[in-house]
Structure 1
Amino acid sequence: MEYRQTDGRMQRSERTRALIVQAHVDLLREGVLKPTAALIAERAGVSRRTLWSNFRDMESLLGSTVDHWFRLDDELREEIDPSAALDERIANFCAERERRLVNIAPAARAAVLGEPDYVALRASREGHIRRVRTDLETTFATELEQAPDPEVLLDAMTVAVSWNAWSLMYDDHGYPADRCRRLMEHALHALLG
């Protein structure tokens, strides 16, 4: 009997934690870039005490929210055939990158504000950079192997498809996502052509 009670409590706790993280994600998607614990708790339909009994501090809540965004990013990732023609790989890579950047945009905007204060947000940025570099290395392995300076080419491609470049075009210039994708394609063609 004790086991079932503990198991039930753990399931309720996991549901509560998921509700809190989803509330945080929803607020970020709505443009609330620095939601307070009170606002997150209210959105989740729990008390602040419940929020803090499930997350010891803001760092742990942010860590769980970052994990949520990484899972969403995983769902948007697709394998690109590295043996396909270069034009096809660039088009597929940039289409996938557009989906992923549009998805991560609310979290990335919020992270910029909180990175100086939270390790989880700095680690998230580093994780996303590692992912994009790995994706570039896999998709464009042939071109990197043939490049006179593969590391410089990889760095240049990373810049071209980075969140920072996307945000400059999408947020600062107000370009629609499809134009940002075309600009990214153009940059990769210029670097790899």
Structure 2
Amino acid sequence: MAVHQHTDGRVARGQRTRDAIVEAHTALLREGVLKPTAKVIAERAGISVRTLWLNYKDTETLLGATTAYWLDADAALRTEISPDLPLDQRLEQYLDMRVRRLEHLDPAARSAALGEPFSRALQDSRRQHVDRVRDDLAHVFGPELAAAGERRGVLEAALFVASSWPTWSSLRHDLGLEVDAARAVMRESVARLLLHGPGPGTT
């Protein structure tokens, strides 16, 4: 029994250490340290660099744990929106949810953009985020997409671009817009697409 308790305690301590490392990594990203070194992460977690690498065998393993944290946190911010509601209500609810998630995701996305070409974990995380946005759009704006007929694919792609993180990043960082102003631009783009479609001559 004592041996079992000792093993359980060691496993629990190991999990607490791994959690502390991921929390330190995510905190640094939120503070704008987009490429923190192992030394900086370890110092923030209150451990040695050796302990960090004993718990995560390499950078890719650490990135996998950190992206899993961001994906879980993003999922917790998702709200269910009924496609049966009037379009104006669905639009406002979608924008509220999307802005919430984009603001939360922004630090991690900015960091991931630096390392994504070289990291399978970051590439997989991006694909999951893309799939989530596409699924949300298909669900929330299903009636409008169905009505688009053969132009559905273009409308889907246009809606995705209008509410994607790169677009949000341009509004917030390139143009320096505050959240409300950036949301207003996104609303204008999404509303025009839903009401008038992606324009003539597209298929």
TM interval, short-chain normalised: over 0.9
* Residue 176 (structure 1) aligns with: 178
Percentage of identical aligned residues: 49
Counterpart position of 1:186: 188
Q: Give yes or no for the alignment of 1:38 onto 2:39.
A: yes
Q: 2:29 and 2:80 mapped to 1: Cα distance?
A: 28
Structure 2 length-normalised TM:
0.93
Q: Paired residue for 1:7?
A: 8
4+ residue runs of structure 1 moved beyond 2 angstroms? none
The answer for unaligned runs of 5 or more in structure 2 is 196-203
Unaligned residue ranges in structure 1 (runs of 5+): none
Distance 2:97 2:72 in 1: 15
Is 1:18 the equivalent of 2:11? no
User: Which protein is bigger by CA-based radius of gyration?
Assistant: 2
Q: CA deviation at 1:2?
A: 2.1
CA shift, 1:106, in A, is 0.4
Does 1 or 2 have the higher relative contact order (CA < 8 Å, sep 6+)? 1
1:179 Cα deviation after fit: 1.1
SS at match of 2:33: coil
* Partner-residue secondary structure (3-state), 1:91: helix
Q: Kindly state the Cα deviation for residue 114 of structure 1 after the two structures are TM-superposed.
A: 0.7
2:86 equivalent to 1:79: no
The 5-angstrom pairing of residues 157-176 of structure 1 reads 157-176=159-178
Q: Give the Cα separation in 2 of the matches to 1:57 and 1:93.
A: 38
Q: How does 1:52-71 map to 2 (within 5 A)?
A: 52-71=53-72
Distance (Å, rounded) in 1 between the aligned partners of 2:62 and 2:154: 37
Shift of the alpha carbon at 1:126? 1.0
Can you list the C-alpha shifts for 1:116-158, whole angstroms capped at 9, x where unaligned?
2211111111111100000000001111111132111111100
Instruction: Give the drift of 1:25.
Output: 0.3
Q: Which residue of 1 aligns with 2:201?
A: none
Letter in 2 for 1:71: D
Aligned length: 193
